[in-house]
């Protein structure tokens, strides 16, 4: 009698057919959810609630690989921590965070920002890690060799990484910088600007600038590389003081 | 590592020569250029591109530390000569002495400020026919005073400024297009 009652109660339950089907699936969803989470750990897709931290050994290694002293690397770490926690606090600089730092807004598109981000992101994993940050800034140091700056700038402007800075690419970049001030120029005017530059830079007149032509052009026009040097890097320890006792305390 | 000194970005030799204490005018700088019409320095496409905010990483340091930029730029559709006279017109009533040399100007404040007299260097570049880029740089004095000066100056320059990347520009972009375009 009890069993029939139970059977009857199931059939005459107030749940709709849809709700009953859903409730039947719940245990399966729970199992799948658990499997995904377990598998995610294998693929390192775990939610980034764990922040990446750097210890003294890492900072020393970076100092050895670059022209920054350990104190300067520590100071850069202070700057990096500020930048990398501005939107997503995960110890990594995302593109929005770089955009926020340079444009005061995380929104919008900017071709030149994309290029800078791309060059900093050596591993091409969509984020700038601290090592990448330090190694890139190493090129901007006032004492960095001019060849490193020439090379970095060439790769920056070689939008499609073909080994040449093409006319079309220069046009795209000029349009992009004018857009920052909401300036739109006529095509004729744009062409005139590029004509003049290419007359100076494109020695073999093939409509594109190769590495050698770029080097010669930059040496004739040093102000082209003006933004490749950050004088503040020399005084980084005064701009971002970090206290010595913190060094030992950082977890690895 | 032996100390290495940064190369100066800009040579102010010709401008500085104007301030040469020597009374003998024959000692003034000799024009290095050949005889002929003097034109403003051209700004090539890459120099123009490098003014992008995305490529000026110095703001990573300046913004974080509350440092204030020491230079500002605007573009103009007026001729370089018109720009020069307009700047001169606007700067003199603000108590600034104007010295010109080709397309570089040096503005010297008569009043002593927090860090001495405010000195501003202005340079005009030709980006394209009928498009000039004007750079104003603080070359002496207090940076905050430089910004105050520029704010005051820009009211006088409304007619020649076409576009500015100045963050403190409050004008609606729509409104300014109509208001700041000068008569060609």
Q: In CATH, what number is assigned to the domain containing residue B115? A: 3.30.310.80
User: What is the rounded CA–CA span in Å between residue A51 and residue A34?
Assistant: 23
Taking Cα atoms as reference points, which of A178, A154, A112 lies closest to residue B54?
A: A112
Domain enclosing residue B97, as ranges: 45-51+69-157
A82-134 pLDDT tens trace: 999 999 999 999 999 999 999 989 999 999 999 999 999 999 999 999 999 99
Q: Which is more confident, B29 or A57?
A: A57
B76-127 pLDDT tens trace: 999 999 999 999 999 999 999 999 998 999 999 998 888 889 999 999 999 9
Q: Hey, are the CB atoms on B52 and A180 less than 8 Å from each other?
A: yes
pLDDT of the residue at B61: 86
Residue B96, in any domain of the structure: yes
User: What is the rounded CA–CA span in Å between residue B63 and residue A104?
Assistant: 9
Q: What is the CATH number of domain A26-36+54-240?
A: 1.10.238.10
Which positions ≥6 away from B158 have C-beta within 8 Å? B179, B180
Q: Which residue has the tokens 């230079």?
A: B71
Cβ-in-10-Å burial (0-12, 13-18, 19+) of B103 comes to buried
Q: Which residue has the tokens 């913190």?
A: A246
How many cross-chain Cβ pairs, A to B, lie less than 8 Å apart?
Answer: 129
| Residue A136 pLDDT > 60 | yes
pLDDT of the residue at A205: 96
| Residue A4 pLDDT > 70 | no
CA distance, residue B111 to nearest chain A CA (Å): 30
DSSP structure string for A17-30? HHHHHHHHHHHHHH
Q: Which is more confident, B48 or A43?
A: B48
| Residue B68 pLDDT > 90 | no
pLDDT of the residue at B184: 33
Q: Hey, are the CB atoms on B52 and A174 less than 8 Å from each other?
A: no
CA distance, residue A16 to nearest chain B CA (Å): 58
Cβ-in-10-Å burial (0-12, 13-18, 19+) of A175 comes to middle
Q: Please state which of the ranges A7-21, A90-104, A156-170, A191-205 shows the lowest mean pLDDT.
A: A7-21
Residue B134, in any domain of the structure: yes
Which positions ≥6 away from A92 have C-beta within 8 Å? A52, A84, A127, A128, A129
CA dist list (Å): A93 to A66, A88, A134, A138, A233: 20, 8, 12, 17, 19
Q: Which is more confident, B3 or B103?
A: B103
Q: Hey, are the CB atoms on A102 and B167 less than 8 Å from each other?
A: no
pLDDT of the residue at B71: 82
Q: Which is more confident, B73 or A95?
A: A95
A191: tokens are: 């062409």
Q: What is the mean pLDDT of chain B?
A: 77
In which band, very low, low, confident or very high, does the pLDDT at B20 lie, cut at 50, 70 and 90? low
Q: Hey, are the CB atoms on A182 and B163 less than 8 Å from each other?
A: yes
A169: tokens are: 């690419």
pLDDT of the residue at B21: 46
Residue B98, in any domain of the structure: yes
Q: Hey, are the CB atoms on A197 and B46 less than 8 Å from each other?
A: yes
In which band, very low, low, confident or very high, does the pLDDT at B171 lie, cut at 50, 70 and 90? very low
**Segment 27-66 of chain A within 8 Å of chain B by CB:** none
Q: Hey, are the CB atoms on A174 and B49 less than 8 Å from each other?
A: yes
CA distance, residue B66 to nearest chain A CA (Å): 10
Chain A residue with minimal CA distance to B130?
A189
Chain A residue with minimal CA distance to B10?
A223
pLDDT of the residue at B136: 92
The separation between CA B171 and the C-alpha centre of its own chain, rounded to angstroms, equals: 21
Instruction: Indicate the DSSP class of residue A93.
Output: B
In this prediction the ipTM stands at 0.76
CA distance, residue A38 to nearest chain B CA (Å): 40
Q: Hey, are the CB atoms on A180 and B42 less than 8 Å from each other?
A: no
Residue A226 contacts B, CB cutoff 8 Å: yes
Mutation site, A181, A189, A191, interface B, largest B CB count within 10 A: A181
DSSP structure string for A51-62? PP---HHHHHHH
CB A146 within 8 A of CB A157: no
Q: Which residue has the tokens 């108590």?
A: B95
Residue B16, in any domain of the structure: no
| Residue A28 pLDDT > 70 | yes
| Residue B182 pLDDT > 60 | no
In degrees and rounded to multiples of 5, residue B161 shows phi and psi of -75, 125
pLDDT of the residue at B22: 45
Chain A residue with minimal CA distance to B162?
A183
Cβ-in-10-Å burial (0-12, 13-18, 19+) of A197 comes to buried
Taking Cα atoms as reference points, which of A188, A233, A98, A139 lies closest to residue B54?
A: A98
Residue B174, in any domain of the structure: no
- A178 CB neighbour count, 10 Å cutoff: 22
- Domains of chain A: which residue ranges? 26-36+54-240
Which residues of chain B make contact with A63, given a CB cutoff of 8 A? none
pTM: 0.72
Q: Hey, what long-range contacts does B13-22 have (CB within 8 A, 24 or more apart)?
A: B14/B101, B14/B102, B14/B104, B15/B99, B15/B101, B15/B104, B15/B105, B15/B106, B15/B121, B17/B101, B18/B99, B18/B101, B18/B106, B19/B99, B19/B106
Which residues of chain A make contact with B42, given a CB cutoff of 8 A? 196
Which residues of chain B make contact with A113, given a CB cutoff of 8 A? 53-54
Q: Which is more confident, B172 or B50?
A: B50
Mean pLDDT of all residues in A143-156: 97
A220: tokens are: 């004739």
Top-confidence range, A26-30, A34-38, A86-90, B151-155: A86-90
């Amino acid at each position: 009698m009890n069993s029939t009652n139970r059977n009857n109660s199931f059939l005459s339950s107030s749940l709709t057919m849809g709700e009953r089907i859903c409730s039947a699936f719940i245990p399966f969803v729970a199992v799948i959810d658990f499997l995904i989470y377990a598998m995610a750990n294998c693929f390192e897709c775990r939610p980034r609630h764990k922040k990446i931290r750097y210890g003294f050994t890492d900072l020393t290694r970076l100092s050895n690989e670059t022209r920054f002293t350990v104190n300067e690397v520590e100071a850069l770490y202070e700057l990096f921590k500020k930048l990398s926690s501005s939107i997503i606090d995960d110890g990594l600089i995302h593109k929005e965070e770089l955009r926020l730092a340079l444009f005061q807004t995380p929104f919008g598109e900017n071709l030149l920002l994309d290029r800078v981000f791309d060059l900093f992101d050596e591993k091409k994993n969509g984020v700038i890690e601290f090592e990448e940050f330090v190694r890139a800034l190493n090129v901007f140091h006032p004492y960095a060799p001019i060849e490193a700056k020439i090379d970095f700038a060439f790769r920056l402007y070689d939008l499609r990484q073909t080994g040449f800075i093409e006319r079309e690419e220069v046009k795209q970049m000029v349009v992009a910088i004018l857009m920052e001030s909401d300036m739109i120029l006529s095509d004729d005017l744009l062409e005139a600007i590029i004509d003049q530059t290419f007359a100076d830079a494109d020695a073999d007149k093939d409509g594109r600038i190769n590495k050698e032509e770029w080097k010669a052009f930059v040496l004739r026009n040093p102000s082209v590389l003006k933004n490749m040097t950050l004088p503040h890097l020399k005084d980084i320890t005064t701009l971002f003081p970090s206290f010595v006792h913190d060094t030992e305390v950082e977890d690895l | 590592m032996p100390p290495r000194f940064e190369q100066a970005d800009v040579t102010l030799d010709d401008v500085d020569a104007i301030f040469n204490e020597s009374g003998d005018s024959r000692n003034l700088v000799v024009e290095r250029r050949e005889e002929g019409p003097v034109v403003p320095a051209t700004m090539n496409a890459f120099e123009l591109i490098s003014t992008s905010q995305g490529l000026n990483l110095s703001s990573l340091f300046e913004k974080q530390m509350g440092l204030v930029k020491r230079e500002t730029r605007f573009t103009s559709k007026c001729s370089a000569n018109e720009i020069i006279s307009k700047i001169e017109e606007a700067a003199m009533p603000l108590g600034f002495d104007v010295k010109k040399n080709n397309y570089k100007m040096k503005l010297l404040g008569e009043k002593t400020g927090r860090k001495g007299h405010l000195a501003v260097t202005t340079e005009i570049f030709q980006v394209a026919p009928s498009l000039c880029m004007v750079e104003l740089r603080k070359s002496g004095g207090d940076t905050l005073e430089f910004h105050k000066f520029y704010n005051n100056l820009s009211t006088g320059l409304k007619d020649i400024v076409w576009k500015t990347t100045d963050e403190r520009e409050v004008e609606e972009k729509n409104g300014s297009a109509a208001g700041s375009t000068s008569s060609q």
